[in-house]
Amino acid sequence: MTAVSPQKEPYERLSEPMATLSAFAAMVKKEFIIQLRYPVEFVASFAQIFLIVLVLTLAGLMFAPNGVESETTSEVTGIVVYGFVLFIYLSDTLWSVGFNVRREQKQGTLEQLYLSPASKFAALASRVALTLLWTGLLSIAAAVLMSSLLGELPINNGPLALYILIMTLSGTFGTGFAFAAMTLRIKEAAQTAVNLLQFGFMVFCAPFFPFAALPEPMLWIAKVIPLSYGVDAFRSTLMGYPNGFPELAPIGVELGIVTLFGVAMPPLGFWLYRKAENQARRRGSLSEY
């Protein structure tokens, strides 16, 4: 008798790249469905952005000698608006990529996900896709509102600024992967860690004020953080390199640091995540509350 091979599941019949792409598309769809199931939170996120913008606008005007009538208003606008764009991306990355792993762990779905043959990288990258779209819309809305309150927004060197933004976001997403690894270890303390990281970014990476406003000891700390160079290079490039910008290093040096950050951080963050995941599997703590 001829042996009949068992019928393969649809996922198994796909080639590995196609299976990864199929899993990624399904996970992105899941993330969008979850987002749309909470319409109040969906609307509240826009309202929250407008409140944050109002506070940051008033704070940014402190660096203009004569308020909205100052000749440097355009410079202040660039500092605050472009820094805010990177701040909101980092904030949403920490919550949507890093902390969502903890959310699935609490919901009891994380262990089932990793018992399936689905790509683990696709599971993390699907959250990045939602962050890119939703946070991008929020950033555009915030930039329009802030420029209407602060003054004309300087826009120069678009292609180079776009490259810096892509590299900075790539490094930021890698940071989110690394933070997801940390959430598997510290569990309920992850929410506190997110808040501390956000606060540290607001202080040391100077997204809402010039680096010159930092005291000397804090400025040295800022120079150790790669994301600081992304903030400085991005807004300095779009502002057309006014006198004193970039502040931390020559633009060529900052471009090198930002490029290295964008290329190296995603694989490093994912490696840290897989390492933490394997340890959690061996300990049987993937489903622990």
Query: From CA 151, how far away is CA 158, in angstroms rounded?
Result: 19
Q: Give the tens place of pLDDT for each residue, 214-256.
A: 899 999 999 999 999 999 999 999 989 988 889 999 999 999 9
Q: What Cα–Cα distance (Å) separates residue 139 from each residue in 53, 114, 135, 165, 228?
A: 10, 33, 6, 13, 19
Q: How far apart are the first and last CA of the chain?
A: 52
- State how far Cα 197 lies from the chain centre: 12
What per-residue string of b and e applies to 16-41 under the rule 16 or more CB within 10 Å gives b?
eeebbebbbeebbeebeeebeeeeee
The pLDDT value given to residue 80: 78
- State how far Cα 254 lies from the chain centre: 19
Nearest to 248 by CA among 266, 268, 224: 224
Count Cβ atoms within 10 A of the Cβ of residue 250 and give its class: 0-12 exposed, 13-18 middle, 19 or more buried.
exposed
Q: Where exactly are the structural domains of the chain?
A: 20-283
Round the CA-based radius of gyration of the chain to a whole number and report it: 21
User: Tokens for 252?
Assistant: 């060529």
The pLDDT value given to residue 2: 46
Read off φ and ψ for residue 3, nearest 5 degrees.
-70, 135
Quick check: 283 and 106 in contact, CB under 8 A? no
For the chain, list residues with pLDDT below 70: 1-17, 19-20, 41-50, 52-54, 56-74, 98-99, 102-103, 105-120, 146, 149-151, 188, 285-289
